[in-house]
Chains A and B, each alone.
Chain A
Amino acid sequence: MVQPDLQTVRLSNGKEITVHTHLFINNEFVPGHGPLIETINPATEEVICSVHSADEQDVNAAVNAAATCFKDTWRKVAPAEKARLINKLADLMERDRDELAILDALDNGKAFTVARDVDITDSIACYRYFAGWADKIHGKTIDTTFDKMCYTRHEALGVVGAVIPWNYPTMMAAWKFAPALAAGNCIVMKTSEITPLPAYKFAALVKEAGFPAGVVNIITGYGHTTGNYLSGHPLVSKMAFTGSTATGRKVMESSSTSNLKKLQLELGGKSAQIVCADADLDQAAEWACGGIFNNHGQSCNAGSRILVHESVHDQFLELFIKHTKAMIKIGDPFEEDTFQGPQISKAQFDKILNYIEIGKKEGAVVSYGGKRWGNKGYYIEPTVFTNCHNQMRIMREEIFGPVVAIAKFKTIEEAIDIANDSDYGLAGSVYTTNLDTAITVTNEIKTGTMWVNCFDVFDQSTPFGGYKQSGFGKELGKYSLQEYTQVKVVKILRSSKI
């Protein structure tokens, strides 16, 4: 007996909701042929329900649906109509904002209020931003020689594959869907098997908005099976991947052995926040706190290293801990005042606690937190390590949890060197009131985003993406359109002389 698509799920407050559990292909919810995968509520450690996953046959079906739709339908739809559909989708997400937020909170463990006010709100803004680009994707005319008419077209790629992580289920989907659709592509997206539920609710809205069948296809499954079939598929012209650096390598290798599909990788980070002696320390402490503890530390751009000028270290630390205590209320995701919910899974929970042990063994000092919180759910206290140096594993390896490592520096040159002494280069910040320091430091750090006197401030219009082994390619902003188009130049000769 195949598990039916709709399943009833009970929330911790007693409320019941209905969720889709089948694959979304060609505007229909269809059974998958991969194994049933249980999705766990990280706040209770209990199974929410099982979902269908995609095997190779299902991936083929999804890709073929997208390819057929692109060829026969989607590429012929006028850009303004594409914009209208994307805006309609945003309207429906707005209508069902709470329901989407409930699913993000339930499946991921983030606070419902955060899911509603940050994740879903920003996702809606992302769709609206890119809807506006759909009819503004311009080629150029290029004056080469007098006898030629030469122009470029920025064409859609066709079928785009996307693999997204579990840390911002709805928002990571938006960052891929929005530019891909605006640029005229059809998509097959594999969600994380850890957080499959939100995207299936979103899928129902895609159909309701009126997108032709096959434009958006959403499946789930394991990376090494489902993800792998997608990365290697000959009809997929591009893979957009957000996740670990280790898996990013596999996606790139897969492209090299299959059809050299275009790639975009958004990988890990170990971003440094630099606090200068002339910083407004209280402000810096507040921003820095959010910079590491937002989303329970489960952000690729988390400011997980804080470098503080030795003259203000102790003062900063005191303020940092003060803000941590004030800001970080740990609790059930559905409680109104919860800031921090549980970590995503047992595996992550164990990994983070292990890093805390490693930090202690390496000689760092736990100045705050350092333990599990409560005895049910994967909760970990916000944890502050001091007395760190940049060769420690807790300063070099991505922990992906609410653990920050604080080190001192003497000169700004030293801080820059420490910040750059990493294989990663995703984000970073500097806190200073001095103009020269701000410009110099932002110029010198090898990273894709630098915040000055703030952290984690995102806009739909500014590009986001890493240097070095944090990946390549940009999301958000006009820059991301380059990732979802290919350039054709047409050169027409009109003279009759050879």
Chain B
Amino acid sequence: NTGLFINNEFVTGAHTIDTINPSTGKLITSVQAAETEQVNAAVDAAEKAFYGGWKQSNPRERSRLMHKLTDLIERDAEDMAQLEALDNGKPFGFSYAVEIPLVLSQLRYFAGFCDKLHGKVIETEGKLSYTVHEPIGVCAGIIPWNVGALMLAWKVAPAICCGNTIIVKTSELTPLSALKIAALVKEAGFPPGVINIITGYGPTAGDALSRHMKISKIAFTGSLPTGRAIMKAAAETNLKKVTLELGGKSPNIIFDDVEDLDKAVWYSLNGIFAIGGQICFGGSRLYIQEGIYDAFLEKFKAMAAARKVGDPFNDREAEQGPQVSETQLKRVLSYIESGKAEGATVYHGGVRKGDTGYFIEPTIFTDVKPDMRIMKEEIFGPVVAITKFKDEKDVIAQANDTTYGLAAGVFTSSIKRAITVSNALEAGTVWVNCYMQVDSNSPFGGYKQSGLGRESGEYVLQDYTQVKAIKINIGL
């Protein structure tokens, strides 16, 4: 299916967008794209669905539909993973064994929450006072291209659980897996207009969603500049609620009392090179204490050198596929050049791999300084900058010296150090002796300019409901 999914139908858009296979640089197919007119149609559909029965829907019915959708995604998991691998370039194994199971767990977690949205009864004088946590209404989600299927689940699951209707705009770079899910939405039996899935460009379709007067909440995952634009657009229009999940420059700190060096290397390597480094919480600044520096770096380099980079379809052994697009390829390569120009050492990699497809060798920089661009700016590629450090206090200061605050890693066997350092790090998630452990029931989101609001877990429900206090006079 390549249409816009509005009101349970695949419809024509304003124009089409080509989606490219980043392993080959060749066209996969073209999909319909939305402009303002189609966005308006989607909002109308979502609004009609909300007031036409969804707002008053029985929570158990919402739960049943969410479970049905999840079962269908599970039935078609292999197709879904293949579409993600084809469209994004990530290894099929990653999508099938990691990403799709997280999609399923997110949907099932929130399917179980639908009938557990509790307000409170609050004791006050002479009154019955209580709160109700109501759905907000029509919500919008704008999702990125790195883990498209998962990001779709992270927006749809809590929105639907709380009784809202939703319009999700996928990235024009990776529209395909979401359109597959769209077909399953209809098959599962969701009423028309409850879930709408469209694609389009950010400055047109995305902007139209940000400014729409009938959208009461927008959730965005993507870059910092676009996050700013969305908040500004909300300020200029109807003050819709905004949650943002933006970039990161997450520090990963290896202390010399790390318990299992091989494990630390494995987590750290995957923590930056997974999906070609195209993850918002990538541990892109690696801090290694001087006592363990040489040993860690040797193992890290060996693992990087052994990493298989290739087409996820033709090479089932591939651990890392291409970057998602030519634009991203050029961007990452230009950051590598800036690292060299600013005096960092390319310890491994640092070049494009091959001539077709957008592949980059896993790249390690050493001899880095804190003010280098490769240490300050989000590269979103398979590039890690490694710093040697002496003591705890110093590394905490360096780790926190960023406008981002999405995640962090700490490797140590000392309980005191684990707790002290994780307390001190300005990040929304701190992983201790692991990295990139994502669970549907724990909250995820950024400190500082990595964003606003939390996704997953009970915490996200706050962002998809609005609280009304009702106070009934019984004795005043």
Contacts and interface: CB of A to CB of B under 8 A. Distances in A.
B341 interface: no
Interface string A475-487: 0011100100011
Contacts of A449: 468-471
A249 B239 contact: yes
B134 to A, nearest CB: 8
B93 interface: no
Interface string B104-145: 000000000000000010111101010110000000000000
B439 interface: yes
A479 B459 contact: no
Contacts of B471: 449-452, 454, 457, 459, 462
Query: Which of B422, B451, B470, B476 neighbours the largest number of chain A CB atoms within 10 Å of its CB?
Result: B470
Interface string B218-254: 0000001001110110111011010010100000000
A138 interface: no
Interface stretch (B58-66, B94-102, B426-434): B426-434
Interface string B405-444: 0000000000000100011000111111110010101111
Contact of B231 (A252, A461, A472, A487): A252
Contacts of B431: 491, 493
B398 to A, nearest CB: 16
A17 interface: no
B314 interface: no
Given A488-B428, A489-B429, A498 B266 contact: yes
Contacts, number: 178
A259 B449 contact: yes
Counting chain B CB atoms within 10 Å of each CB, the highest count among A153, A259, A442 belongs to A442
B132 A493 contact: no
A452 B472 contact: yes
A454 to B, nearest CB: 4
Interface stretch (A80-88, A140-148, A349-357): A140-148
A286 B462 CA distance: 36
Contacts of B131: 462-463, 479
A252 B439 CA distance: 32
B452 interface: yes
A252 B442 contact: no
B57 interface: no
A217 B472 CA distance: 38
Contacts of A477: 122, 469
Given A442-B470, A449-B468, A452-B472, A461 B124 contact: yes
Contacts of B123: 461
B232 A256 contact: yes
A482 B246 CA distance: 21
B349 interface: no
Given A259-B449, A498-B266, A491 B434 contact: yes
A245 to B, nearest CB: 8
User: Which of B123, B236, B263, B471 has the most C-beta atoms of chain A within 10 angstroms of its own C-beta?
Assistant: B471
Contacts of A447: 468
A365 interface: no
A252 B433 contact: no
Contacts of A489: 428-430, 442-444, 457
Interface in B350-381: none
Contacts of A260: 224, 227-228, 231, 244, 246, 448-449, 451-452
**Contact residues on B (Cβ < 8 Å of other chain), bracket:** 35 or more
Contacts of A486: 428, 447
Interface string A438-451: 10001100011111
> What is the interface of chain B mostly: helix, strand, loop, or mixed?
mixed
A486 B241 CA distance: 17
A354 B315 CA distance: 76
A343 B231 CA distance: 35
A33 interface: no
A144 B447 contact: no
A471 interface: yes
B263 A457 contact: no
Contacts of A145: 439
B467 interface: yes
B403 A472 contact: no
A496 interface: yes
B422 A490 contact: yes
B429 A491 contact: yes
Contacts of B229: 256
B473 interface: yes
Contacts of A459: 122, 124-125, 129, 471
Contacts of B228: 256-257, 260
Contacts of A493: 431-434, 437
A438 to B, nearest CB: 7
A498 B263 contact: yes
Given A265-B239, A443-B132, A491 B442 contact: yes
B122 A249 contact: no
Interface in A407-427: 423
B76 to A, nearest CB: 26
A168 interface: no
B321 interface: no
A488 B429 contact: yes
B466 interface: yes
A152 interface: yes
B91 interface: no
A465 B465 CA distance: 13
Interface in A251-296: 252-253, 255-257, 259-260, 262, 265, 267
Contacts of B234: 252
Contacts of A19: none
A469 B235 CA distance: 10
B227 A496 contact: no
B193 interface: no
Given A259-B449, A462-B129, A487 B473 contact: no
A256 B235 contact: yes
B187 interface: no
Contact of B469 (A256, A454, A462, A496): A462
B162 to A, nearest CB: 15
A448 B441 CA distance: 28
22 contacts: A142-B442, A142-B457, A144-B442, A145-B439, A148-B439, A250-B235, A252-B234, A252-B235, A253-B236, A256-B232, A259-B448, A423-B238, A450-B468, A461-B129, A468-B239, A486-B447, A487-B454, A488-B422, A490-B429, A491-B437, A491-B439, A493-B432
Given A260-B224, A459-B122, A465-B467, 4 more contacts: A148-B434, A260-B246, A452-B472, A486-B447
The 9 closest A-B pairs by CB, nearest first: A252-B235, A493-B434, A256-B231, A144-B439, A454-B473, A492-B432, A452-B472, A453-B473, A256-B232
